[in-house]
Amino acid sequence: MVTVTNYHLRQSKGGKDYVSFTLQEDREMIQFQKTGKIYATVENPQKLPHSIS
């Protein structure tokens, strides 16, 4: 899971406004024995905030 830990309002060299996010990732890669496919999982998922103000 990726959690947004911070954000910044920025402006490009061309003058366009945009938002940059600071992300935190806490995952573990596991491989299913049956299929051999690899998946990312999180042991203790946290609930994300509904909005950033």
Domain around 11: 2-41
Please, which residues bridge with residue 20 across strands? 8
Residue 53's pLDDT is 46
Helix (H, G, I), strand (E, B) or coil at 35: coil
The answer to whether residue 27 sits within a structural domain is yes
The answer to whether residue 50 sits within a structural domain is no
Number of domains in the chain: 1
The answer to whether residue 25 sits within a structural domain is yes
Whether pTM > 0.85 for this model: the answer is: no
The answer to whether residue 32 sits within a structural domain is yes
Residue 4's pLDDT is 82
pLDDT in tens, the chain (53 residues): 677 888 999 999 999 999 988 877 777 778 888 888 887 776 655 555 544 54
The answer to whether residue 46 sits within a structural domain is no
Query: Which has the closest alpha carbon to 45: 30, 31, 23, 27?
Result: 27
CA distance 46 to 4: 11
Residue 13's pLDDT is 93
